[in-house]
Structure 1
């Protein structure tokens, strides 16, 4: 029986989560539908645009994403410090980027004087909005619902477009985050709809490569900041160059028509993560089969389960791949 979402999210254990949504109908999210002969590639743009839009509204950063023919993946970072740093007016303005709010919050956003007897009600609304702006369920709801409406309108039908629940996984350490990101961003390679990461349209890796060619990083994605140091801006504690090499070389190995070896720079990442190359390849190529819940070393996995009082610890043996033996 599925557990309530609130019992799967523990910000004390990790701010990183992998989410996946699948369509419920035979009609494709995007790509060619062999049954109808229609092409739905334009829907990829809908999804990417909405993902990047939400990254500017929620206090949730997007680390990676990809859009496949019948599902999508996102790796998210929940930024509690950011949402707590927002003023009450900031929170209302952020929420109004997606929803109209109420007459009371609209008055507050305009700087109008609020009657004293309505202040408590206003404070309650702001607290509700603040909690929703770091809520993965609200992020995924705001991602999936507009796409479903557009797709239903285009298909001239009604009913569910997505499965009832999106899948979410806690990523408990750096190795789990990088492995999941590589798994997500290499989806088009494994599905043979792209030959290289930079040719994988509507994916975060393509955005990173395009920006890297200009010596930049995408503003709407969680950045790589190199080795972690005190007072450094938030981001993933490895260099972008190392990560791009890691994804590229991993992609070369898992493809049937190419063979290669992990480059020395990428090997440095694996050494720092304490994961043997063979384990890394198994994790990245079989991530969806190996892990159906939280991902991390066995120690992190057990700590997470104990914290959330999870008695059943299915797939804990897969966590052994997250470290050397």
Structure 2
């Protein structure tokens, strides 16, 4: 039985969560449907555009994404500090970019006089909006619902476009985060939709590679930062170059169907993460099959389960893939 989303989110343990949405019946409603002969590939651009737009509104960062023919993956980072630092006016103005609001909230943003009897109501609304703007469920709702309505309008039909619930899993440490990012970034390679990362359309890795060639990083995505940089900087604390090299060499092995270890030049990141080399290809090829719940070492997993009052024994066997020795 599905668990309430609030029992899967523990900011105390991690801000990172891997989310996945599938279209109904696993049909190719965002790609080429051989059954009907129709091509819906243009809808992948809809999803990417909407995803990057709402990331600029929510206090939620995108670490990685891949939009496929019948599903999408996105790795999100909840930024509680940013949400808490917004002024009340900023919160309401951001909310109005997503929803119409009401007469009271529009009076507030226009600087009009708020009656004393309305102040408590307004404060409650602002607190609710602030909470929702750093909530993964509201993020996915604001991503999925407009796409569903637009697709149904194009198809001249009604009903569900996405499956009822998106899947989410906590990524409890750096090894879990980067392994999942590589798994997401390599989706088109595994599906044989692309032969190179540069040719993997509608993915975060394509954006990172294009920007890296210019010496920059894509603004819509959570950046990679060096460990020695300012500890207050927000980002993924590993060198971008090492990550791109590792994912590129992994992708070549997967696409060509080769067996073997990652070369030494690309394996330095695995050493830092303490991920056994023999496990890496299995992780990046079968992450979704191996892990059906939170991902991390036994120590991290134990803390997460204690905070959410879960029984960790359901997930223990998966820890071996992220632990050496």
Determine if the TM-score, normalized by the shorter chain, exceeds 0.5: yes
Q: Say if 1:13 and 1:172, in contact at 8 Å, map to a contact too.
A: yes
Name the structure 1 match of 2:126.
126
> Paired residue for 1:288?
288
Cα offset, 1:301, TM superposition: 1.0
Matched residue of 1:74: which SS? strand
8 A contact 1:249–1:261 mirrored in 2: no
1:25-104 to 2 correspondences below 5 Å: 25=25, 27-104=27-104
Equivalenced residue count is: 325
Contact 1:29–1:68 (CA under 8 A) maintained in structure 2? no
Flag the 1:177–1:228 CA change in 2: closer, same or farther, 3 A.
farther
Give the equivalent residue in structure 1 for 2:139. 139
Matching residue of 1:160: 160
Aligned to 2:148: 148
Alignment match, 2:239 = 239
In 1, Cα distance between equivalents of 2:23 and 2:107:
39
Q: Is the 8 A contact 2:195 2:255 kept in 1?
A: no
Partner of 1:220: 220
Shift of 1:26: 5.5
- Correspondence for 1:188: 188
Instruction: Show the counterpart of 1:114.
Output: 114
Kept after mapping to 1: 8 A contact 2:301/2:312? no
- State the distance in 1 between where 2:115 and 2:286 align: 58
Q: Say whether the 8 Å CA contact 1:252–1:260 is kept in structure 2.
A: no
- Root-mean-square deviation (CA), in Å? 1.4
SS at match of 1:197: coil
CA deviations over 1:3-24 (Å, ceiling 9, x no partner): 1100000000000000000111
Cα deviation per residue 1:116-166 (whole Å; 9 max; x = unaligned)? 111110000000000000100000000100010011111111111111110
Distance apart, 1:57 and its partner CA: 0.5
The Cα shift of 1:261 comes to: 5.4
Q: Distance in 2 between matches of 1:65 and 1:228?
A: 27
Contact preservation (8 Å) 1:252, 1:259: no
Equivalent pair of 1:225/1:240 in contact (CA under 8 Å): yes
**Counterparts of 2:240 and 2:249, CA distance in 1:** 14
What residue is the counterpart of 1:209 in the other structure?
209
- TM-score, normalising length from structure 1? 0.97
TM-score for the superposition, normalised by structure 2 = 0.97
Measured after TM superposition, the shift of residue 297 of structure 1 is 0.8
Any stretches of 5+ residues in structure 1 without a counterpart?
A: none
Using the TM superposition, name which of 108-117 and 87-96 deviates more: 108-117
Describe the shift of the 1:85–1:251 C-alpha distance in structure 2 as closer, same or farther (beyond 3 A).
same
Q: CA deviation at 1:265?
A: 4.2
Tell which deviates more after alignment, 295-304 or 187-196.
295-304
Give me the whole-angstrom Cα distance separating, in 1, the residues matched to 2:322 and 2:207: 28
